[in-house]
């Protein structure tokens, strides 16, 4: 799963702001009590950030899966077979293996892959006698 750079920058910015807020709170606490914040406060905060990041990643994975299922529903059945084979093979496969696993002829797979490339669903890279077909969605 790829993490969007924009979301990563926003997340890092929030963590930076959280650090600044802790410094400010620690300054007020230190000036009023002449003691620093207990270490457990920092530990709980760090643990909360880790748990929050884990939850965000899980929800992002679920959202991506739901979006992918919606895309699969709108594809014609033959294209859906090709995309499912790609999903089952870590989003990339050689075109000659795609022919075997899909059950379609070489010509039919070539035409389907061409349509999917035109719609930017897959990417095709030349590899000698065959092509590497990569899922882009």
**pLDDT score at 71:** 75
- State the Cα–Cα distance between residues 34 and 32, nearest whole angstrom: 6
- Domain segments of the chain as ranges: 5-73, 77-135
The fold of 77-135 is Arc Repressor Mutant, subunit A (1.10.10)
Please give the radius of gyration of the chain, using alpha carbons only, rounded to the nearest integer: 24
pTM summary value: 0.57
Averaged pLDDT of the chain: 85
User: What integer is the mean pLDDT of 108-133?
Assistant: 92
Residue 37 has pLDDT above 60, yes or no: yes
- State the Cα–Cα distance between residues 83 and 60, nearest whole angstrom: 21
pLDDT confidence band for 26 (50 / 70 / 90): confident
């Amino acid at each position: 799963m790829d993490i969007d750079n924009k979301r990563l920058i926003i997340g890092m910015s929030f963590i930076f702001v959280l650090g600044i807020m802790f410094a400010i709170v620690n300054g007020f606490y230190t000036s009023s009590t002449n003691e620093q914040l207990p270490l457990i406060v920092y530990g709980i905060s760090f643990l909360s950030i880790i748990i929050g990041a884990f939850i965000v990643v899980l929800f992002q994975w679920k959202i991506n899966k739901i979006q992918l299922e919606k895309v699969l529903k709108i594809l014609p059945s033959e294209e859906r077979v090709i995309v499912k084979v790609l999903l089952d093979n870590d989003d990339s496969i050689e075109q000659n293996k795609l022919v075997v696993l899909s059950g379609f002829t070489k010509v039919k797979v070539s035409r389907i892959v061409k349509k999917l490339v035109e719609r930017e669903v897959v990417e095709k890279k030349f590899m000698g006698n065959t092509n590497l077909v990569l899922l882009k969605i």
